[in-house]
Amino acid sequence: MKALRRSGAWLGALLMAAAWGGAVAEETAGPSHDTVRAVYRLYYSGVPVGEVTEVWARTGEAYHIVSTATPYPVLRWLAPSFVESSSGTIADQTLRPAHFEHQRSDEAGALAADFHWDTGVLEQHFDGKTEPVPLAPDTQDMLSIKYLYRVAGTAMLNRDIPMSTGKKLEIHHLVLQDTGETATEAGRFKTLHVADEGQRAPSRFELWLPEDRRYPPVRMQVTERGHQWEQRMLRVEIE
């Protein structure tokens, strides 16, 4: 059960991510002012266990993302609820998080990270303590990495992406698997299927990213220690 809970922490983190980087179809960048609200059905090992709502908001060069997971009442023993948030700025076709936080219903303390780009220090907060580590360029958090492709496009594939969980740093390396059309309850989308290459991190991500970058990821999977969580889009609104 403990391993299962650790896996659950990645729901919203799930990542992951997104960033592309190869020769693919022409991309459509998102506007400088927009709000995107997406609702996903959450699956554990192929079984629906709840829903995840994510809201991306951009105002000029500032962004803010909130992800909220709500399990079905009868399955709260299996999938904890959580709220994640990430805020920061958009610069040089990348996201630069300033603060990340992850709070779970089955844990007393939150995980958090503060990104000090001026001094090159990342502060990770967990278990009642703060651990400073060097802040590498383009470091993301578990939530921002999912939306990185909206500003970076295909430039973000085929290279290492440092990612803070609030407790540790992981290195993810996304590569293009294939292109095609992904059907969801929100509609059909032309997508890029990207996935982690090798085992550079404890978890492995697979993402189906829309070629039209105004939209968020339409499907996401994360596998950790044999446990697989997945989000599939139910509906999406763009303002």
If you write DSSP's letter for every residue of 120-178 in order, what string do you get?
TEEEEEETTEEEEEE--TT-EETTHHHHTHHHHGGGGSSSEEEEE-SS-EEEEEEEEEE
Q: Check if the beta carbon of residue 3 is closer than 8 Å to that of residue 137.
A: no
pLDDT confidence bin for 204, thresholds 50/70/90: confident
Q: Which residues of 137-176 are buried (b: 16+ CB within 10 A; e: fewer)?
A: ebbbbbbbbbbbbbbbbbbbbbeebbbbbbeebeebebeb
pLDDT digits (tens, 9 = 90+) for 95-114: 999 999 999 877 778 899 99
Tokens of 45: 């090992």
Instruction: Flag whether pLDDT at 18 surpasses 80.
Output: no
CA-wise closest residue to 215 among 195, 200, 230, 237: 237
> Mean pLDDT across the chain, nearest whole number?
86
The mean per-residue pLDDT over the stretch 108-131 comes to: 94
Instruction: Flag whether pLDDT at 223 surpasses 80.
Output: yes
Q: What whole-number distance in Å separates Cα of residue 236 and Cα of residue 200?
A: 32
pLDDT digits (tens, 9 = 90+) for 57-98: 999 999 999 999 999 988 877 777 889 999 999 998 899 999
The residue ranking higher by pLDDT, 72 or 225, is 72
The number of beta carbons lying within 10 Å of the beta carbon of residue 132 is 12
In the chain, the percentage of residues whose pLDDT exceeds 70 is 86
Tokens 């650790």 found at:
6
